[in-house]
Amino acid sequence: EAGVTQSPTHLIKTRGQQATLRCSPISGHTSVYWYQQALGLGLQFLLWYDEGEERNRGNFPPRFSGRQFPNYSSELNVNALELEDSALYLCASSFQGADYGYTFGSGTRLTVV
């Protein structure tokens, strides 16, 4: 069974540009979560999608947005990139419900120059 896959692995963008990150959850998982992990720091919750809808978002500006497609894959968009957006962006998926652990992808390393 394939795990959570994220693409691209690495992404280099210039300040002010837009970045699009993609995530495919484990088959059968309907919930997708996005986290930001700045270098050497913890995981900051960005967004949660389930059944195609945004269920919750963390304390990030509106230029961080995303969507979930009918096949449950998801996309994270970051507009007007700033230098401090440089981080590892992790996607995780799970079954919907409070009793399941998250399976994380390997992440997309975004570097803004």
Partner 1 sequence: GQQVMQIPQYQHVQEGEDFTTYCNSSTTLSNIQWYKQRPGGHPVFLIQLVKSGEVKKQKRLTFQFGEAKKNSSLHITATQTTDVGTYFCAARRFSGGYNKLIFGAGTRLAVHP
Classified as helix, coil or strand, 52 is coil
| Distance separating alpha carbons of residues 23 and 36, to the nearest angstrom | 14
Residue among 2, 14, 12, 20 nearest 106 (CA): 2
Binding to partner 1 (CB under 8 A) within 29-88 occurs at: 31, 33, 35, 41-43, 45, 48, 50, 55-56, 58
Nearer to partner 1, 62 or 97 (CB): 97
28 binds partner 1 (CB under 8 A): no
102 binds partner 1 (CB under 8 A): yes
101 binds partner 1 (CB under 8 A): yes
**93 within 8 A of 31, measured Cβ to Cβ:** yes
Least separation in angstroms between CB 96 and partner 1: 7
| Distance separating alpha carbons of residues 34 and 16, to the nearest angstrom | 21
Nearer to partner 1, 36 or 81 (CB): 36
Q: How many helices (H) and strands (E) does the chain have?
A: 0, 11
Residue ranges that bind partner 1, judged by CB under 8 A: 31, 33, 35, 41-43, 45, 48, 50, 55-56, 58, 90, 92, 96-99, 101-107
